[in-house]
Chains A and B, each alone.
Chain A
Amino acid sequence: MKGGPFLETRDLAVGYAKPRHPRRVVVKEVNVALKRGELTCLLGPNGAGKSTLIRTLCGMQPPLEGKVLLGGEPLEKLSPSDLARRMSLVLTERVAVGMMPVVTLVSLGRHPYTDWAGRLGPQDREAVRRAMADVGIEFLGHRPVCELSDGERQKVMIARALAQEPQVMVLDEATAFLDLPRRVELMHLLRNLAHEGRRAILLSTHDLDLALRCADRLWLLSPGGPLVHGVPEDLVLSDAFAQTFADAGVSFDKGSGAFTLAARQRGTVALSGNGVLGMWTYRALERAGYRVVQEGGHVGTCVESFEADGKVCWRIRGQQTIHYSLESLLSRLHASSHTPPS
């Protein structure tokens, strides 16, 4: 089993089956795998069934069809403690454990390994120490969990999941309530933990941009649609990414790798300029509702960005005025786009 994926699904269908109710299939024909050393992100709009899929992969609800194999063995054949030794979880919910020191909470991860009294042996202590070091929270050791910030708290929960020494770590929207710097930090941490090579990590998230940049593989789940998976860039180029999130008002721009609000179209503008200045000018024009094209072959308005005397400035080709801020440039553009082109 060493070489095989840590987690694998075979023709998995997930959803809800209640007696006297029609069966509701959320996703079917899921054939995916989590491989050692990889960070996988599960993306999809709200209501696509991310949580249902995660719950099924974790054994919290039975599959409707097909199988989940953990280390080659069907999930339902594993005892609760065997399952806990192979897979650990970090959930969205904020834990309220009160006056518990961080180190005690992390050692809860040793639960499947300790005897009935929960005594920690040298091996357990070492696993706890390593988990805290890997996440970078050694210095929090004796602080009570209730005094931690949300970001620190979630790191503690990740350390706890690591102390469980799983092959597969599953995080269900574990970064949801954190601020952006904390989310970036956590995502990098998860990537490093995966690349270290002892485990596979699955994270369901709404952070499309971060997932595109950090994940080794993406699973894209669209409502009712199939689960598409692959390397992030492949999914972008094949338009699978855009299709998953094809929704009114939002569209994925392959050029910038970002989602754009479909603002009202004000017309097409050509842009001359590159580098950082060019990029931000592009973003400003796009946000203001212009379709931006490369210069050359375009006959309409053309914006030039350049630096002069150490200052950034903009000019509309054919006009004398030099703008020293994008604000000024945009208001000039808006003014001229209201007048019909002569």
Chain B
Amino acid sequence: MGSWENPRPCTGDPHPIPRVSPLLWAALWAVLAGVFLLELCLGSVTIPFKSVLAILMGNSEVPEGWRQIVLLFRLPRAVTAMLAGAALGMAGLMMQTLFRNPLADPFVLGISSGASLGVAIVVMAAWGLGWTALIQKAGISAGASLILAATAGAMGILGIVMALARRVESNVTLLIIGLMFGYITGSLVTILFQFTQEQQMQTYITWTFGSFGGVTWRHMTLFAPTLLVGLLVAWSLSKSLNAFLLGEGYARSMGVNVGAVRLWIIVGASLLAGTVTAYCGPIGFLGIAIPHLCRMLMKTSDHHVLAPAVILVGAIVALAADLLAQVPGARVVLPLNAVTALIGAPVVVGIILRRRHTMEVGA
């Protein structure tokens, strides 16, 4: 059987739980610092590394224009990308474990569909009815109204899913219901298209491209704490998520309060995915890819390891994708969603082909 290979020195505990090398963690932190600084340096205007450091240190001997670019645009953009990447990765991880399906992503329950519908309604219907003036009078900017609309849509779907999750026993049923929500909202959006003009359609389409650039420091006061709370909730669920790996039957037999934990997982993942979608648009692909990347890097499906790994790797990948989308040195900005999928999908295919078992398909 070849089971006797791999002998280990017999000192102390013969089977310590395998630990991830601290070097790997250090390397991830280093890469994160690297892409973070790159994000601050590169863009339509290239700012020298030294000047960026000087700006961050609070040194004022730097051109005011550069200071503004870095502090008002690139820094919030970088922070947004890191938080969004971590949040989407974590939400994806939770969904993949809950549904025991490697294809699950943060949006399987219809969160982004709900947000899309909200945005579509505001962009097309409301403006068509002449509410624009009303919204502007109320002191809400166009960006903020999109955020509000997406949040309302995501929360609406979340509410429905939560109500159903209490009644529905089977996770597969829940998964199918989520898919159906996607179709329903998709068709509603298409119907709305029929009654709108091209210009409003364009606003909606631009929103669906996704962007980390729309979050200002003012938005950050709500965006960042919400995601941090969501990430903490998710991390604290690690122990139960590990039990869920074996399926609900086993989880229950190990003393997990399956119903309650399932609700927490749904709330946590939806909070993370919903917030990101509201502020940055429906960013595909990161949520499904990052957990796979982390399983491959850490060679484990233990959530105590995966949770911090997903946060780090998520931040790195989101920053890298944003860097590429801005096409350093050029005046063009590519849609973020196009970049995440175009570059990331082949990577995931490669990983899955090489290590077929990164996550087995659940029964």
A residues in contact (CB < 8 Å) with B: 58, 60, 79-85, 87-89, 91, 93-101, 103-105, 107-109, 111-112, 114, 116-118, 120, 125, 128-129, 132, 138-144, 146-147, 149, 152, 164
Q: Are B17 and A104 in contact (CB under 8 A)?
A: yes
Closest Cβ of chain B to A61, distance in Å, is 11
Write out the residue numbers on chain B whose beta carbons fall within 8 Å of the beta carbon of A98: 245, 295, 301, 357-360
Write out the residue numbers on chain B whose beta carbons fall within 8 Å of the beta carbon of A138: 14-15
Which of A88, A100, A142 is the most central at the interface, judged by chain B CB atoms within 10 Å of its CB? A100
Q: Are B255 and A114 in contact (CB under 8 A)?
A: no
Closest Cβ of chain B to A126, distance in Å, is 9
Which of B238, B245, B253 is the most central at the interface, judged by chain A CB atoms within 10 Å of its CB? B253
Q: How far is the CA of A147 from the CA of B6 in the complex (A)?
A: 14
Which of A87, A101, A129 is the most central at the interface, judged by chain B CB atoms within 10 Å of its CB? A101
Q: Which of B6, B17, B247 is in CB contact (< 8 Å) with A103?
A: B17
Closest Cβ of chain A to B107, distance in Å, is 22
Given contacts A96-B363, A99-B300, A116-B239, whether A142 and B6 have CB atoms under 8 Å apart is yes
Q: In the complex, which residue of chain B has the Cβ closest to the Cβ of A166?
A: B253
Q: Which of A58, A80, A111 is in CB contact (< 8 Å) with B239?
A: A111
Q: How far is the CA of A193 from the CA of B224 in the complex (A)?
A: 53
Q: How far is the CA of A285 from the CA of B250 in the complex (A)?
A: 47
Interface size range on B against A: 35 or more
Write out the residue numbers on chain B whose beta carbons fall within 8 Å of the beta carbon of A95: 245-247, 250
Q: How far is the CA of A60 from the CA of B250 in the complex (A)?
A: 11
Q: How far is the CA of A139 from the CA of B3 in the complex (A)?
A: 7
Residue B100, interface by CB 8 Å = yes
Q: How far is the CA of A132 from the CA of B17 in the complex (A)?
A: 13
Given contacts A139-B4, A141-B8, whether A100 and B253 have CB atoms under 8 Å apart is no
Q: Which of A94, A99, A104, A152 is in CB contact (< 8 Å) with B295?
A: A99
Q: How far is the CA of A116 from the CA of B295 in the complex (A)?
A: 23
Residue B341, interface by CB 8 Å = no
Write out the residue numbers on chain A whose beta carbons fall within 8 Å of the beta carbon of B61: none
Given contacts A129-B15, A142-B18, whether A96 and B360 have CB atoms under 8 Å apart is yes
1/0 per residue B247-264: CB within 8 Å of A? 101101111110000000
Q: Which of A58, A94, A96, A141 is in CB contact (< 8 Å) with B14?
A: A141
Task: Please name 13 further chain A to chain B contacts, defined as beta carbons within 8 Å, in addition to the given A89-B253, A94-B363, sorted by A numbering.
Answer: A84-B255, A93-B247, A96-B100, A98-B359, A99-B301, A100-B301, A105-B246, A108-B246, A111-B243, A111-B255, A116-B239, A117-B304, A132-B15
Q: Are A104 and B300 in contact (CB under 8 A)?
A: yes
Closest Cβ of chain B to A93, distance in Å, is 6
Q: Which of A82, A93, A104 is in CB contact (< 8 Å) with B363?
A: A93
Residue B216, interface by CB 8 Å = no
List B residues 348-363 near A (Cβ within 8 Å): 355, 357-363
Write out the residue numbers on chain B whose beta carbons fall within 8 Å of the beta carbon of A147: 357
Given contacts A96-B100, A99-B295, A111-B254, whether A118 and B249 have CB atoms under 8 Å apart is no
Write out the residue numbers on chain A whose beta carbons fall within 8 Å of the beta carbon of B15: 103, 128-129, 132, 138, 141-142
Which of A83, A88, A104, A116 is the most central at the interface, judged by chain B CB atoms within 10 Å of its CB? A104
Q: Are A146 and B239 in contact (CB under 8 A)?
A: no
Residue B242, interface by CB 8 Å = yes
Q: Which of A79, A104, A164 is in CB contact (< 8 Å) with B302?
A: A104
Closest Cβ of chain B to A240, distance in Å, is 31
Q: Are B254 and A96 in contact (CB under 8 A)?
A: no
Given contacts A84-B255, A99-B299, A101-B300, whether A143 and B3 have CB atoms under 8 Å apart is yes
Given contacts A99-B295, A132-B15, A141-B14, whether A164 and B360 have CB atoms under 8 Å apart is no
Residue B202, interface by CB 8 Å = no
